Structure 1
Amino acid sequence: MIRRDFLRYSALAVATAAALPLTRVSAAATGGRTWYIDATAGSDSHAGTSEAQAFRSLDRLNKVTFGPGDRILFKRGGDYPGAFLPKGSGSAGAPVTVDAYGQGALPHLHADGQSPSTLRLQNIEYWTVRNLEISNQGPQPAAKRTGVHLFHQDYGVAHGITLQGLHVRDVNGLPVKQAGGGSGILVEAKGKNKPTRYDGLLIADNVLENTQRDGILFLAAGDRTGGLAKGVAVRGNRLTGVPGDGILVRGCDGAVMEHNTISKCGPLPRGEAAAGIWPFDCDNTTVQYNEVSDHKAYADGQGFDSDFRCRNTLIQYNYSHDNVGGMALVCNDGRSGGDIGNTGTIVRYNVSINDALRKTDSASLRISGPVNGSQIYNNIIIIPDKPLAGAEVTVFKATKWKGVPSDIAIHDNIVVSPQSPGIDMQLATATRLGENRMFATAGGAAKAQGAQPASAQDHAMLDRFRTTRPTLAQVNTLVKACFADGKPVPNAMQLIGQLAAG
């Protein structure tokens, strides 16, 4: 289902991009110039300012310094080898815009491993880049290779950058993070001599395929000394074949990560940890309406994560399925969390189906290290028979990481399993366990708090979930129907059964 949905989305994205009337908007409206590049009929001896006088190569385009309102149009169907390394900034209300013109496939820019990135926006602002195909497949994998790189160093505040409708594919970085990794889209702000951060960064409606190691990776969008990034949104992206971290934001305040789909993740080499969508060193992050599936990282491997140095992360209305590590991780490294730690994470109104597939040391939701004040409530966790015989069935689990969780509230969740699910919060302190509705087959011992026997019909319903996966829209409808005033409704099992029946 995920693959079919991805292909439909890709076709829709290309068709929508082809229909955009952007190439006929007068540059005079914003006071800028329009530059054309045509890989077939263009020439680097041309002026580049009309379709008939289009440039041919990226090398020629890189010699131009662009300004407010400029538009750079690539001829569709064209093949553009090399790296696009533009100069010059737009302004508020008059960004520099990169787009496609003509008919046919997206313009294809490819560095072929000859440059660390195919498109690099360095120390420039107010840029909108859309409707390009970008790859960077070298003869051999290489560290830190990426497709698109936003790099700002000692710049100050970089405003108004948009990446939209791109198809980023086939970037062969390294699978090991400590060896340098690699990514599809890389965001990096560094401020040794001048504090540097982003303000108004949108990464939306892009398709990423087969990028190694990570998908959309923020090494830092800002920091707590010079200021966290503001106005960051990662929205509506579709990732497949990304084995590591799908979408990771770092150094942001108020970032929104929503309506993204990630599938076919992994595997990674032994010792490598990764997750689907997560913030690191961020405040007030909202993670919502995303779908993550098939994560197979050697360690972690959850759909979602609120990591250390994060405050007030909200993870809601997401759909997690078939991830080896579980639905979600909330964690903090006691050695390096500092005065921030991990505080105030809320995980609510999410649906998990067939997650936590390891035989041992696995849980639908794991809380690790000195995490404080998390709230876990109003989630639906559906656990069919485990694929490995004798695998443990644990829903909520606390583990050490140079410290233990404290003041965790877990209540009003719905858990359905063929055997009695366990709650292992023994290592945590001051845990508050409210009423959780847990259903197990009649043969299971009621070990978990509030566990209730389920019927043979319920067991058959779980069997259907092993092979059938609902859509994100269906699970969001379910989760909203299953809770009234924050409490599970009496007919929740019937509603879940209806979802399984299609």
Structure 2
Amino acid sequence: MHRRTFLRHTTLALATFSVLPLGRAHAANGGHTWYVDSGGGNDAHNGGSEAQAFRSLDRLNKESFGPGDRILFKRGGDYPGAFLPKGSGSVEAPIVVDAYGQGALPHLHADGQAPSTVRLQNVEYWTVQNLEISNQGPQPAPRRTGVHLFHQDFGVARGITLKGLYVRDVNGVPVKKDGGGSGILVEAKGKTKPTRYEGLSIVDNHLDNTQRDGILFLGAGSRQGGLAKGVVVRGNQITGVPGDCILVKGCDGAVVERNTVSKCGPLPRGEAAAGIWPFDCDNTTVQYNEVSGHKAYADGQAYDSDFRCRNTVIQYNYSHDNVGGMALVCNDGRSGGDIGNTGTIVRFNVSINDALRKSDSASLRISGPVNGSQIYNNIIIIPEKPIAGAEVTVFKATSWKGVPSSTDIHDNIVVSPQSAGIDMQVAQATQLSENRMVATAAAAKAASGATAATADHAMLDRFRSHRPTLAQVNALVKACFANGKPVANAMDLIGQLTTG
């Protein structure tokens, strides 16, 4: 080859070799920034700038990502298919998926062609935020989900955050045993290597119309391989989810707080579900949440401490218009094993117009061999029942291959135009003390461990048309239970909630 020609070809080759690094944006923490633009992108591009953006999820899935990388989807874009990323970030430099530009959130949608639209499998240190995600197929299908965290034989999966996502229109099936479906699914499995999550945050997301469930943990860890640590589910808004709206499983010390759940149900006959609850967890805190309008065929409570749960605290929550009541504490005597359900605390909550079934209904139900529950300093307001002749029971114990024992129910305020009953007859060693049962003068009747007073019937009626905010409820609870005891003007404070 002529020397001049050789030099020209060498120069072109070097220029071609160097254009990718020089053209790619670098993230502040050392990784690369990748761009995806469904309108103006091209899968022949290198993805390293807005001008060189990829177009499709299929092209993006061919890359493997590393610490500090940023993956940016252009706002207003439409991205069919499934996002199945590879690679992990680090504690100092997580991988971040986000939106760029102006306009609506980028919309990722599998359209039922994949089980999940976004699937983080055996990766860690990822933050996924500011995306719209759906998975609406032509027909409902089992185990369909929007976002799936799936880790198997991985060990400890650290540092995953889902934030500011709008997850909508996921048509799984409504029956749990048939596979169900969810908006966000969390699943850790360990056949050959114990696997669990650590530092998992699901915060400030909006889930709407996801069938069957909302945020569903099939297991963030296990008692055999280790329970998940550092799990936070906070500030999520969930609407139109008929089944279990937030269910955490396999965690130690999970915090579920400041979530709003509404318009839940109905489910097919025989299906049981609740608003927010732990299963097979230790030391769960459920606080500052609002759950309303749960209409499950069975259960249908706002809050629940379920099988194999120890030391659950349900506090400072607001519950209204749920068919099953404010809370359930339960354990199936056949399957609770050596864990059972022990040490549940339900305190400082406000319930308005819950327990709407005609019979076998209670504001708070304790079922099965549940041990050492404490139910105290709650405000339970029961307007006229929508069904004539409906049962008005506040606390009820039932048998489920065993009965509750050592339950302490004290210092609760119950307001009702009718005499509200307490039915703990099947339970063992129940302690009832200083519960204030407030009813109209004609219906006032003392119950075991309770004192009777008089209520303003018109005030109770106003609760049907006016609902306080969660902030008002929290202020009420603090005011009513100053120094840990009900105050004499509790009825005045409760009445203020109806006027604004």
Normalized against structure 2, the TM-score is what? 0.94
Q: 1:494: Cα distance to partner?
A: 1.1
| Pairing of 1:155-304 with structure 2 (within 5 A) | 155-304=154-303
The residue number in structure 1 matching 2:11 is none
Amino acid at match of 2:452: Q
Distance 1:195 1:71 in 2: 30
Does the CA contact (< 8 Å) of 1:444 and 1:453 recur in 2?
A: no
Does the CA contact (< 8 Å) of 1:328 and 1:365 recur in 2?
A: yes
Q: Secondary structure at the match of 1:466?
A: coil
Q: 1:81: Cα distance to partner?
A: 0.2
Q: 1:448: Cα distance to partner?
A: 2.0
Does the CA contact (< 8 Å) of 1:461 and 1:501 recur in 2?
A: no
Distance 2:341 2:453 in 1: 36
Q: 1:453: Cα distance to partner?
A: 3.6
| Equivalent residue in structure 2 for 1:467, among 459, 465, 468 | 465
The residue number in structure 2 matching 1:13 is none
The residue number in structure 1 matching 2:421 is 422
Distance 1:325 1:474 in 2: 24
Does the CA contact (< 8 Å) of 2:170 and 2:182 recur in 1?
A: yes
Q: Structure 1 residues 164 and 28 mapped into 2: Cα distance closer, same or farther (>3 Å)?
A: closer
| Equivalent residue in structure 1 for 2:494, among 476, 485, 496 | 496
Distance 2:437 2:175 in 1: 39
Q: 1:467: Cα distance to partner?
A: 1.6
The residue number in structure 1 matching 2:475 is 477
Distance 1:485 1:451 in 2: 20
Distance 1:85 1:303 in 2: 34
Amino acid at match of 1:454: T
Q: Secondary structure at the match of 2:457?
A: helix
The residue number in structure 1 matching 2:94 is 95
Distance 1:483 1:157 in 2: 42
Q: 1:393: Cα distance to partner?
A: 0.4
Q: Verify: 1:454 aligned to 2:445, yes or no.
A: no
The residue number in structure 2 matching 1:444 is 443
The residue number in structure 2 matching 1:345 is 344
The residue number in structure 2 matching 1:47 is 46
Distance 2:264 2:442 in 1: 35
Question: Unpaired segments of 5 or more residues in structure 2?
Answer: 1-24
Does the CA contact (< 8 Å) of 2:437 and 2:446 recur in 1?
A: no
| Pairing of 1:300-339 with structure 2 (within 5 A) | 300-339=299-338
Deviations 1:382-431 (A, max 9, x none): 00000000001000000011000000000000000001100000000000
Q: Secondary structure at the match of 1:467?
A: coil
Distance 1:496 1:28 in 2: 53
Does the CA contact (< 8 Å) of 2:438 and 2:444 recur in 1?
A: no
Amino acid at match of 1:171: V
Q: Secondary structure at the match of 2:233?
A: strand
Distance 1:275 1:241 in 2: 13
| Pairing of 1:346-425 with structure 2 (within 5 A) | 346-425=345-424
Q: CA RMSD in A?
A: 0.8
Distance 1:367 1:58 in 2: 49
Q: Secondary structure at the match of 1:403?
A: coil
Q: Secondary structure at the match of 1:494?
A: helix
Q: 1:501: Cα distance to partner?
A: 2.3
Distance 1:219 1:356 in 2: 28
Q: Secondary structure at the match of 2:462?
A: helix
Amino acid at match of 2:125: Y
Greater Rg over alpha carbons, structure: 2
Q: 1:434: Cα distance to partner?
A: 1.1
Deviations 1:155-196 (A, max 9, x none): 000000000000000000000000000000000000011000
Q: 1:28: Cα distance to partner?
A: 4.2
Does the CA contact (< 8 Å) of 1:253 and 1:282 recur in 2?
A: yes
Percent identical among aligned pairs is 82
Does the CA contact (< 8 Å) of 1:421 and 1:447 recur in 2?
A: no
Number of equivalenced pairs: 475
The residue number in structure 1 matching 2:7 is none
Q: Secondary structure at the match of 1:443?
A: coil
Distance 1:96 1:121 in 2: 12
Deviations 1:57-106 (A, max 9, x none): 00000000000000000000000000000000001110110000000000
Q: 1:29: Cα distance to partner?
A: 2.5
Q: 1:27: Cα distance to partner?
A: 3.7
Normalized against structure 1, the TM-score is what? 0.94
Distance 1:27 1:494 in 2: 61
Distance 1:197 1:499 in 2: 43
Amino acid at match of 1:476: N
Q: Secondary structure at the match of 1:501?
A: coil
The residue number in structure 1 matching 2:12 is none
Distance 2:104 2:325 in 1: 38
